[in-house]
Every structure is written in C-alpha cells, then in structure tokens.
C-alpha cells in the first residue's frame, strides 16, 4: 500500500471461485450449495469460473442446446442470479463448457476480448478433447481462462503434455490488439487433465488414500513429475493436494471403481494458475515495490458428497488483489435523472471522451436479478430514441408500455458493440408508477 501514490486508484480485492467437474453426461444435481460456497457467509465472492467436461453431447442434446441454454447453464444462472451474479460469457466445444459469472457491479470493468475453442481429438479435428478459452480484461488487466479435457489412460502421458502445449500455442490473437497469452497478467487453467499416479499398484494407492497418506502419491503424480522437467509447465502453480484422488468412482456412491477394470484412483481434475513474471530484484534494483496484481489461494479441495459422476468436483477459491487500471466506467447512467412521460422512461447518460461509440450500442432495462445480458425487459438503440445530446451528456427514452406496474427494482446497462461488453450500469432503482384518472372536467390527468 505504501508504494501507491496518494490520490491514485484504491486497491481492490476480488474473491474468485473456480470449479472443474467432469459430469459424465449427467444432469445437474438438485443442490450445488456446497460446491458453490453458498452456505459460507465469509466467502465474499465476486466472480465464479465454472468448467465442465463430458456434458451430454448427443445430436439431439446439441441441437437443443444450440437453440436454448443447456441444463447446466440454466441451473447455474437460476442459482446465482438471485445473489447478484450475471453470466458474462461462455464458450462450448461439444462436451466441454466454460462459464464466467460476475457480480453485476463489476460488469463495466470486465471486457470480453475473445472466446476460442481448440480441438485436439482425432488429430485436431474432433472436439471431444481439447480446450476452450475466454480472454478478458478485468479492471484493465489481461486474464485468460482455459478449461480443458486431455487424453485418458496412464500410458498417454506424453500425449497429454503434447496436447497441453498445443492448446497453449493455439491461443494466439492475430489481428486483434491483444498480447500473447504468456504476456497476460493471469492465466487460470483447469479441467479434467487426466494425469495419473505411476508405479504404485492399486492396493498401495487405495491403502494410502484410506490412511490419508497422500505425500507418497504426490511423488508419482504425472503432473507433479512433468513440472520438474518442463520449464513452461513449472511456471503454473497449484495448491497442495490435501484431498483424495477424484477419479474413478462408482456412480451414485463414494466408492472407488469396483468394476472388473478396477481403475487406479488419480487426481485427474486440477486447477492451475500462472501470473505474469515480475521483474526480479537484483543488486542494482533493491526493494522493488509490491506488485499491483497478485493472486493467493484460500482453499483447494474436492467435494465427495456429489455422486452423479465417476469424477468428484474440484474447486479452488482465490483472492485477487489489484490496483485498477480502469477505475471509472466508460459510461455513467444517471437514474436520479429518470422521469416518465406516458409510456416512456427518460434516461440520461454521459461518456468518456475516448469511448468508442457505435450506432449498434444499446441500453437495456433489467429487473434486479438478471441472468445474463440478454435478460432485458426492454431496450433501445441509443441512436434511435435520442432526445437531446451535448458534448458529454445524452438523453434517450425507453418504451415501458409493456412493463406491468411493479415495485420491483430495475437496472440500466449500456452495451457497447465495439467492446462486446457492458460499458456502464446504473444503481438499482424503482420506476415511478403513473396512472391516469379523470378530473371533474373529464380530462385525463397524470398522477403518481
């Protein structure tokens, strides 16, 4: 804190919860409260990052999901939207799905730059294996999020590492003003990585798990071994594996595989992260100031009570501390200047001088508790319904004739077509209720 200049942006701490789960084509369970930390009053979460593998990707399911939200996305939106979380982006490749939710207060500071799919199955032509990526700017910092599903089986370790490298290499952003992924401030990489435990037999592994003696198993974990020999992989950090291996279980139980194959348990489901390299202090540069962007892990563990899949879900909770590079929204919507005339709602807004306007920008009116940016009750193109404008102040009106009288609270969001993101959001407000009554002369008069 002492390195920050007086009057500069104040530091922020964001709580981020990352979940990875191979759901084995199963539908969502009835309750995800534990996995999502909904019962933890001290969680203080701002962002959810949720990656699923092996979603049902049959033809009928894919066609249905193309027209509507898949069952997992719908369930998660229904669960998180009442708590103020909005789905800001998603990307899906066959059975691999990545979702990002954020508290609506953060939307003006969160810009989606790119979504990308990298298939690695069937020589790079089939998306049953591979990775999906969401690249975004968070308070001005570059963040890349990757959810992957790597090849299975203990003998395919070299192939897994090859696919890991290929996914990373394919995250280029040619033609876009986005730096190389290795120059991003943060990479969060997780998924069903399918790394196994070498050398030890089934009986030894199960006895070690039963006695919670995980340290011997760590030494033979393929990912841990690979990090010792691969300089790039070594830059990715991971919390200690103080939880039982998350694969393979009998479905609808917490018993490890009892089928004829009796697969050896393994930590297949992992969460890694990598921070951009910071300048190293040397003899000529003593006492470098504390970085303006840092990540620390609060918790890392599996959730054994969920039994719909042969994998157990894994989650990690992080604290991201940053000094915002973007400290004010590009658009300021002013609900205090709202007023209604017949069936129209007047809205005033201002923008920064460098805001990249577009005739395709629009303002949406939402009920508090919106699920995603398309969950509006009314909207207008900013260029169509403009009433007045000056160098920095604009007024537009929104038709609210189809909105029933209600005391519910609403929000306004300004969506930028050039930025593909929300550029401004209002505080919650209530729409004044106007009704018409007959006066003694028989003329209709507006009345609040």
Q: Which two tokens stand for residue 151?
A: 């090849």
pLDDT at 439: 43
User: Same CATH fold, 331-430 and 12-322?
Assistant: no
Q: What distance in Å separates the CA atoms of residue 200 and residue 431, rounded to the nearest whole number?
A: 66
Token digits of residue 431: 């729409």
pTM over 0.85: yes
Inter-residue contact 402 to 419 (CB < 8 Å): no
Domain ranges of the chain: 12-322, 331-430
Q: What is the pLDDT of residue 122?
A: 76
User: Which of the following CATH numbers is that of domain 12-322: 3.60.10.10, 3.40.50.460, 1.10.287.70, 3.40.190.10?
Assistant: 3.60.10.10
What pLDDT, on the 0 to 100 scale, is given for residue 15?
Answer: 98
- Phi and psi at residue 209, to the nearest 5°: -65, -45
Other beta carbons within 10 Å of 56: 18
Q: According to the model, what pLDDT value does residue 288 have?
A: 46
Tell me the CB-side half-sphere exposure of residue 310, using CA atoms within 13 A: 18
- From the number of C-beta atoms within 10 Å of its C-beta (0-12, 13-18, 19+), residue 162 rates as middle
**What is the topology classification, in CATH, of domain 331-430?**
Immunoglobulin-like (2.60.40)
Could you list the pLDDT tens digit for every one of the 448 residues in the chain? 233 344 456 789 999 999 999 999 999 999 999 999 999 989 999 999 999 999 987 666 555 555 558 999 999 999 999 999 999 999 999 999 999 999 999 999 999 999 999 998 776 666 789 999 999 999 999 999 999 999 999 999 999 999 999 999 998 876 678 899 999 999 999 999 999 999 999 999 999 999 999 999 999 999 999 999 999 999 999 999 999 999 999 999 999 999 888 899 999 999 999 998 765 555 554 444 457 899 999 999 999 999 999 999 999 999 999 999 998 999 999 876 666 656 778 888 999 988 998 989 999 999 999 999 999 999 999 888 777 677 678 888 888 878 877 888 999 999 999 999 999 999 998 887 653 333 444 443 333 3
pLDDT at 2: 34
Among candidate residues 286, 297, 93, 300, the one with its CA nearest the CA of residue 186: 297
- Contact partners, residue 391, CB within 8 Å, separation at least 6: none
């Amino acid at each position: 804190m002492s390195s920050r200049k007086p009057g500069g942006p104040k530091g922020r701490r964001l709580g981020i919860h990352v979940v990875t789960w191979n759901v084995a084509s199963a539908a969502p369970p009835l309750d995800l409260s534990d996995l999502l930390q909904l019962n933890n009053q001290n969680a203080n979460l701002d962002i959810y990052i949720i990656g699923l593998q092996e979603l049902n990707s049959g033809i009928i399911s894919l066609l249905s999901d193309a027209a509507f939200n898949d069952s997992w996305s719908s369930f998660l939106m229904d669960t998180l939207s009442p708590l103020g979380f909005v789905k800001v982006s998603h990307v899906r490749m066959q059975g691999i799905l990545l979702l990002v939710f954020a508290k609506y207060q953060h939307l003006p500071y969160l810009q989606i730059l790119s979504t990308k799919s990298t298939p690695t199955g069937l020589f790079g032509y089939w998306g049953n294996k591979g990775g999906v990526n969401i690249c975004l700017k968070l308070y001005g910092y570059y963040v890349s999020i990757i959810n992957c599903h790597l090849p299975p089986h203990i003998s395919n370790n070299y192939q897994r590492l090859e696919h890991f490298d290929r996914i990373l290499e394919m995250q280029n952003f040619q033609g876009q003003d986005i730096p190389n992924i290795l120059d991003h401030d943060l990479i969060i990489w997780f998924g069903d990585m399918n790394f196994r435990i070498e050398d030890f037999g089934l009986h030894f592994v199960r006895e070690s798990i039963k006695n919670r003696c995980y340290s011997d198993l760590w030494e033979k974990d393929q990912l841990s071994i690979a990090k010792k020999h691969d300089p790039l992989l070594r830059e990715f950090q991971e919390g200690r594996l103080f939880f039982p291996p998350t694969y393979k279980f009998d479905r609808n139980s917490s018993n490890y595989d009892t089928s004829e194959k009796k697969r050896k348990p393994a930590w297949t489901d992992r969460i890694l992260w990598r921070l951009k390299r910071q300048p190293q202090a040397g003899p000529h540069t003593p006492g470098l100031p504390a970085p303006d962007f840092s990540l620390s892990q609060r918790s890392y563990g599996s959730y054994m009570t969920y039994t719909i899949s042969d994998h157990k879900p894994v989650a990690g909770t992080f604290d991201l501390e940053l000094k915002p590079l973007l400290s004010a929204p590009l658009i300021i919507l002013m609900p205090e200047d709202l007023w209604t005339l017949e069936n129209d709602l007047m809205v005033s807004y201002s923008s920064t001088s460098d805001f990249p306007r577009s005739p395709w920008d629009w303002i949406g009116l939402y009920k508090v508790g919106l699920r995603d940016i398309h969950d509006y009750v009314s909207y207008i193109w900013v260029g169509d319904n403009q009433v007045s404008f000056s160098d920095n102040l604009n007024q537009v009106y929104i038709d609210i004739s189809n909105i029933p009288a209600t005391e519910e609270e609403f929000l306004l969001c300004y969506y930028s077509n050039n930025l593909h993101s929300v550029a401004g959001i209002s505080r919650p407000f209530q729409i004044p209720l106007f009704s018409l009554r007959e006066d003694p002369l028989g003329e209709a008069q507006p009345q609040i």
